[in-house]
Structure formats: structure tokens, C-alpha cells
Amino acid sequence: MKITILGNNSALPAYGRYPTAQIVEINEQLFLMDCGEGAQMRMQQFGIRSTRINHIFISHLHGDHFYGLVGFVSSLSLWGREKELAVYCPAEIKAFLQLQLKWDLGFQIIYHIISDAERTVLIDEEKFQVSCFPVYHSVPTHGFKFIEKKRKRILLPNKVQEYEVPKYFYKNLTEGEDYIMKNGDVVKNDWVTKDGHPNKVYVFCADSRYAPEICDDLREADIVYHESTYLENDQHKATERFHSTAREAASIARQSDAKKLLLGHFSSKYKDLQPFLDEASSVFEPVELAIEGSVFEL
Amino acid sequence: MKITILGNNSALPAYGRYPTAQIVEINEQLFLMDCGEGAQMRMQQFGIRSTRINHIFISHLHGDHFYGLVGFVSSLSLWGREKELAVYCPAEIKAFLQLQLKWDLGFQIIYHIISDAERTVLIDEEKFQVSCFPVYHSVPTHGFKFIEKKRKRILLPNKVQEYEVPKYFYKNLTEGEDYIMKNGDVVKNDWVTKDGHPNKVYVFCADSRYAPEICDDLREADIVYHESTYLENDQHKATERFHSTAREAASIARQSDAKKLLLGHFSSKYKDLQPFLDEASSVFEPVELAIEGSVFEL
């Protein structure tokens, strides 16, 4: 799994920083998380093959999280897309797109409307799962959780040789099958393999006030992205506007036993972002800034 | 008058080029011509004080000319704007904005709906005039004409001394008044002044096929911006899609006796833009490319 940051700023673009958008890549599939204005330009700039995006997730109805969507969908159409596109979003997004995209796009948009405060699995495939959960902002807002399933078992080289399992059957072993020898004896799978790598988990927490009630959804994630619109000395603004400070984001990561924290959604009042890193790392480590163009691998 | 190019590409952003948007500055007032996605980022990048924009003009209903509008208007609201904003546009634009901007913006948007094929004066003030005229695209589309009025007469230094006009009256002379001497004799204005500089004219021709019928609206303009989506070897595409080639744009400039031609709205199929300049300049000169960030003074 790989995360590419397209936009990391809050509502107003500033200092060359764009509003929220991220790409999650799992197994050659790309998922677009929010789509602030200019997201498609950032994709071009960072070499994202956006025709490989089949799923888009919109966290909430604030413009800095979706104003780039109509332009991006329009571009997909102009590029000649035929494959259907799934959009997971509040109901109003469907109305916005339908009003502005009245021609025949050449492909179908399948809308999956997310209801207020819904917690559900949105996609469950063999290799990954995506779910949503409520976070706490001034309008109904959702976080998204990506699980890359790493279920394959790992071969024990000495053991497969010892039991003389033929090589053509190795793939079946990694998928958990037992091997039956020509004489009918069974080589139990767990004699010749061990547990595979644990699942990889990325959690994207869009705009939210400090809300420890979300920690269960973040539990032990490999990377948690949590907004940190403000620094601690603007705590009153954060509270008033249902946003978080860097310290609060770090506290959520600590309480969730996350393995790494990514900070983003910086207010346009801050030119220098280093203080966000300093403030958060006094509470939780490791922490990194979601700098646009940077890629985080899990 | 000063023109700043914010976006010069056609529908699909490409090679770092953004969709159509331009700033026209007259007398400290800024006018936004079209507002493709990312226009507000470009304004920041090029140091445009966008709070000084009081008038926005949208040429037609193709997304690459207005998808940046909702984000820009939203940003004006977040910046605390109180002054009303005039938007000259097709009726649908009003519906798009009203659907997506449902909160109290803090300022009023005054919509001036431009009807199909309308030719009219939109603004007529002491120092400038803006009008619209039809161009010929696949949907109803308008060009916009800016006239900076340079009506002040120019003093003839020897003559004002000869007739002993006092200095305090010079300003009145430039505004065309006669001077009445203490003894009642009249110094006629045209004895002591000459005609002022001619008006400056900029014409913005948004998407249009080759249409010599627009030449009257462009007549003798100081600068004509005309789209040139394609080169001549893609003439069939230009014709089919109601766009122009560089050669056609140059032909329009020549037939209009324009003083300078600006080319823009380049198709994303072209990385190198030099051939546009070469093709057009074989027909008309001077011609320049509307490179993003460049400023053209009249």
C-alpha cells in the first residue's frame, strides 16, 4: 500500500499548498480520497495514472474536499473512459455532479451514498477492504479505513524440502492448502508454512475535532492521517471550528496505538509547517507532515 | 490596461498548463475573464490581489471555463469579503453556484445573465466600458471587449502660456472646458489643447470556430486574444469541434486590423507551443503566445 499526498491545505489554498486530496494505491488499484480543487493537476504533476482510479471517496460537504471532483470526472470523460467509476459520498455530491455534467460521459458513475454517522464496509475484495466511520466536524463527516489483506502464508524452505513438496504446489501452500503425497499421506499446511505478514492498515481522518471516540477505528493502524488545522496556541479556533491542533492529532494517534501519524489540512495562516511536527512529536512519534508530492509506503 | 494570463490550455490540463482564465486590470480594478479550475491558485502564484476583483465574466458553459468559479467565490467568502460581486454569465452558472454555496457568503453576488447571441454593453463607467458579443462555438458563447477610455485632452504648453491660462485651470482644460478670462474673453479649448490618446481596446474571444463575422467586434483592437486550440494539420478536428487553428486565429486578426494577436486555449495534445507562433506569424504579426504568468500591457 502506498499513499501519495496531492493536497494538504485547509479551505484556502496558500503558499503553493492545495486543498485536500490523496491517492491510496493497493495492488495496482488507485483510490482517490477527497478531491479538492486542482487535484487533477497535482496528479499530472506527480505522475499519477489517474485513469487507474476506479473509486473516489468524499469525506464531507465542505468545498475544499470536493471542488476538484467535477473537473476530474469531466477529464476522465474527455480521456475516453468507458469503465464505470464508483463514488462514495454524501447525497448532495451526486446532485452537484449531475447538474454540472449533463452530457453523455461515456461511462457510468455508480454512487454509493454514505449516510450521516454511518459505519460500514464499503468494499470487500480478496486483497483489500475499505470501510467508513464517523468523525466529528461541523457537518457530517467520515473517515476511511483501508486494509490491505496479507493473508498468504510464508513457506518454510527447509520444511518443504524435508517433506518433498513439489515446487508447483508452493503457491497452493501459501494459500493454506495441505499437500497430499502420492501414497495418500497428508502434509499439513502448518508443518511447512508459517503465518503471513499482518494486514496493512491506513486510516484517513478527514476534518474532525479532537474526538477520542474515533480511536477504536484507528486502533494499531500502520499509518493514521489526522487533520491538524491549527497549532496549540490557536486551540480556541480549533475548538470553535471543529478542527484539531497538532497536539490533539498526536494524542489521538497515541491513544490509538497507531504506528505512524501523518499531519495535514494546515490552515492558510501558517507558512512554516515545522512547528506542527515539533508540537506533535512531543506527544507521539513517529510523525510526519503530509507534504504534497510525498509518498508513504506501508 | 494590463492582461495577466492565468490559464491557457483547452479542456484537459496538460504539461503544467491550466484551463482558461485571465485577469484584465484597468485603473486598479481587476476583471476576471473565465475561471477554469485552479485559477485562484494561479492568482496567488502570480501575485494577483484577487480581493480587488469585482466583476467576473464567464464566456460559456464548458467546464474548462468555469469549474474554478465555485472555489474562488468560496475563498472570497472565507477571506471576509463584504463588497458585492458582479458575475456576467449564462443562466446555468447561477444555478451551479447557488446549489453549491448554500451558506451566507457575507456578500451579495449580482448575476447579470447573458442571453444567447446577445450583443450589449455590460458596464459603462467614466474610465472604461465592457461589452459582450457572440462568437461561434458548439454552445452559446460570448467574447468580451474592454475599452479603456482615454478621453482627456493634452495641453499644448506654448499655447497655455500664450493665452495666460492659470495653472489651476489646466485640469479643466484636459477635460475639455473653455477658459474664460477676467475680461470675459473666451479661450477656446481647442486653441490650447489637442486630442488625447486614443482609447485602448482589448478583445477576449473565447472558444470559437473560424468566424469572420466577428471581425467588426474586433476592429482595430490593440490586442485580440483568439483561441487557437489546434494547428493547421488538425484542421478537421478544429472544424468538427467548433475550434480554430492558429492560422485561422491569425486570419481573423488580419481581417480585423488588430494591432496584436494573443493565442491561447491550446489542446493538450501539443507539448511544444512554438509551432502555434510560427503558423500564425506567417499570416499576421505581431503575435504572441498567452503563456501563463505573462503580462501584456496596452
Contact A75 B11 (CB under 8 A): yes
Q: For the segment B83-124, what is each residue's pLDDT rounded down to a tens digit?
A: 999 999 999 999 999 999 989 999 999 999 999 999 999 999
**Could you say which DSSP state residue B293 is in?**
T
Chain A, residues 81-110, CB within 8 A of chain B, namely: 95-96, 99-100
What pLDDT score was predicted for residue A143?
98
Tell me whether strands A295-297 and A186-187 are parallel, antiparallel or unpaired. unpaired
Could you tell me the three cell numbers for A83?
469503465
Amino acid A93: pLDDT:
97
Residue ranges, chain A, pLDDT below 50 = none
Calculate the alpha carbon distances from A246 to A134, A141, A261, A289 in Å: 20, 19, 10, 10
Beta carbons within 8 Å of A276's beta carbon, 6+ residues apart: A228, A231, A246, A263, A266, A270, A289
The rounded average pLDDT for each run of 10 residues, N- to C-terminus, in chain B (298 residues) is: 97 95 95 98 96 97 97 97 98 95 95 96 95 97 95 92 95 94 94 92 96 96 98 97 98 98 97 98 98 97
Interface residue of A61, A79, A100 to substitute, partner B, most B CBs within 10 Å: A100
The dihedral region occupied by B164, where left means phi > 0, alpha psi between -120 and 50, and beta the remainder, is: left
Closest by CA position to A46, among listed A4, A86, A82: A4
Would strands A223-227 and A200-205 be described as parallel, antiparallel, or unpaired? parallel
Specify the pLDDT at position B160: 95
pLDDT of residue A152: 86
Question: Which of A298, A213, A252, A291 minimizes the C-alpha distance to A22?
Answer: A291
Which residues have CB under 8 Å from A127's CB, separation 6+? A26, A27, A148, A149
Contact check, Cβ <8 Å, B41/A45:
no
The reply to whether B18 touches chain A by the CB within 8 Å rule is yes
| Distance in Å, alpha carbon of B63 to nearest chain A alpha carbon | 7
Give this complex's ipTM: 0.89
What is the model's pLDDT at position B282? 97
pLDDT (tens digit, 9 = 90+) per residue, B246-261? 999 999 999 999 999 9
Grid coordinates representing B192?
490650447
Q: How far apart are CA A179 and CA A174, in angstroms?
A: 11
The CA distance from A149 to A129, in Å, is 8
Shortest distance between the Cα of B71 and any Cα of chain A, in A, equals: 6
Pairing, β A53-57 against β B200-205: unpaired
What is the dihedral angle through the alpha carbons of B62, B64, B66, B72, rounded to the nearest 10 degrees? 170
Question: Does residue B184 contact residue B203 with C-beta atoms inside 8 Å?
Answer: no
Cβ B75–A100 below 8 Å, yes or no? no
Q: Give the pLDDT of residue A126.
A: 87
Nearest to B23 by CA among B199, B202, B197: B202
Delineate the domains of chain B, giving CATH numbers in brackets. Answer: 2-150+197-297 (3.60.15.10), 154-194 (no CATH)
Q: Pick from A11, A68, A74: which is nearest to B78 by CB? A: A11
Single pTM value for the model:
0.90
**pLDDT for the residue numbered A150:** 79
Active-site residue flag, B64: yes
